[in-house]
Amino acid sequence: MALIVQKYGGSSVGDADKIKHVARRVIATQRAGNQVVVVVSAMGDTTDELVDLANSVSSRPEASAREMDMLLTSGERISMALLSLAINDQGGVARSFTGSQAGIITNEVHGNARIADVTPVRVKAALDAGEIAIVAGFQGFSRASQDITTLGRGGSDTTAVALAAGLKADVCEIYSDVDGVYTADPRVVPSAQKLESIDIESMLELAASGAKILYIRAVEFARRHGVDIRVRSTFSDDPGTIVYAKKPGENMEESVVSGVAADKSQAKVTVIGIPDVPGKAAEIFTLVAKAGANIDMIVQNVPTGSDVTEHVSDISFTLPKGDLASVVEALEVAKATIGFRDIEADDQIGKLSVVGAGMRSHSGVSATLFEALAKAGINIEMISTSEIRISVVTSLDEVDEATRAVHTAFGLDGESEAVVYAGTGR
């Protein structure tokens, strides 16, 4: 008998009919001889609607982080109870649990808590009694504060992976409205193909590079605890994509390039004319860190050669668009102390990344990438690499075209057009 954790996203439980459909799938999974734990997200856009409601009664709801968590966790409680009702109505036996009842123990940080421990005693007891356990995603309980917490937007994926780890489940299935992990976003690249499998390191890089199919924290958790994830659609029988955290079969060859991701949420800051002396980068990035920005790429240019008279450098870095204004402001204030000449801010950039575990042992990947961009006439503004990823920054209006060109250059185009259900992947 296998133990399966299934997570259904908001679009999968968006209305009564969809909940009844999920109930049928869950019962069928149990009747096929498995123990089943189901993690649910809030119905459709419920979480956003609750945030809107909070904004309509308070000018600064984020200041009452505890109350926001009390409010937002109610979304998942609605879906867990409705799904349980539907399963019981269809002849199954289900019992629902909040995050704290399911033993999701977190630190005390409201709005973005981290899971510290998983003690799914009651979930196990339900399974042992032959029941289907339904767990509200996205939420936990802090022993320190004795309060309910949330795991950050999209946190139900993390709940599912954490329960799979805590229960030593055979697999964690993440259901949304797309068929699996694609070589690129099929809405941008119609010839994108669904991957049958992908290694978790590559999945982590893709998630970090803008692929929205899985939340990065859930993927991190899965990697750390060796949880295999299967990404599937609620609305088809396609087996989806298996994301291997445990050792895959010996004969699974690592792809040189598994996929191409684009991130349109970043902006770029260039600090110009920085004195070329030790300590300046530290001063700049201490300020950036204090502003709370999570920076990504960093490039420094120091002019060299006999014709250089002024010893200054330029530093460019990328950061989330939402952090741009506060970082520029913090740097402006320190302009005289740091001694730089100017700042340029650009929120019209796109970051394209190619990812593949096979890059470790293959040369020529960057040459292929740069050649494809050159042929398409696309200018590269920044470049950065990791062991299994190469990223470039282009202008925002060229990043889609760049994605298509690069997808083709790496031979990722499929024969047929990808199926797009106009889904959000959540």
Give the residues lining the site for ligand ASP (CB under 6 A). Answer: 10, 41-42, 47, 75, 137-138, 153-156
Q: Which is nearer to Mg ion, 34 or 41 (CB)?
A: 41
Compare residues 46 and 183 and give the one whose CB is closer to ligand ASP. 46
| Cβ distance to Mg ion smaller for residue 176 or 197 | 176
Q: Could you give the angle at the alpha carbon of 404 between the alpha carbons of 389 and 348, nearest 5°?
A: 75
**Binds Mg ion (CB under 5 A): choice among 6, 34, 41, 176:** 41
Phi-psi region for residue 364, left (φ > 0), alpha (ψ -120 to 50) or beta? Answer: left
CA distances in angstroms from 87 to 19, 93, 260, 308, listed in the order given: 9, 7, 39, 74
Strands 389-395, 349-355: pairing is antiparallel
Q: Which does 155 bind (CB under 5 to 8 A by kind): Mg ion, ligand ASP, none?
A: ligand ASP
Residue number with CB closer to Mg ion (52 or 342): 52
Q: Residue 75 binds which entry of ligand ASP, Mg ion, none, with Cβ cut-offs from 5 to 8 Å by kind?
A: ligand ASP
User: What beta strand segments (E) does 127-281 contain?
Assistant: 132-136, 139-142, 147-150, 171-176, 197-199, 229-233, 241-244, 259-263, 266-275
Under the criterion CB under 5 A, does residue 75 sit at the interface with Mg ion? Answer: no
The entry of Mg ion, ligand ASP, none near residue 92 (CB within 5 to 8 angstroms by kind) is none
List 118's β-bridge partners, or say none: 104
DSSP annotation of 279: T
Q: Name the residue nearer to ligand ASP (CB basis): 151 or 257.
A: 151
Distance, CA of 58 to CA of 270 (rounded, Å): 37
CB of 9 to Mg ion, least distance (A): 6
- Count of CB atoms situated within 10 Å of the CB of 343: 16
Q: Choosing among Mg ion, ligand ASP, none, which partner's interface includes residue 368 (Cβ < 5 to 8 Å by kind)? A: none
159 makes contact with Mg ion (CB under 5 A): no
Residue nearest to Mg ion (CB): 10
What is the three-class DSSP state of 368?
helix
- Nearest distance from C-beta of residue 137 to ligand ASP, angstroms: 5
Q: How far is the CB of 156 from ligand ASP (least distance, A)?
A: 3
| Chain residues in the site for Mg ion (CB under 5 A) | 10, 41
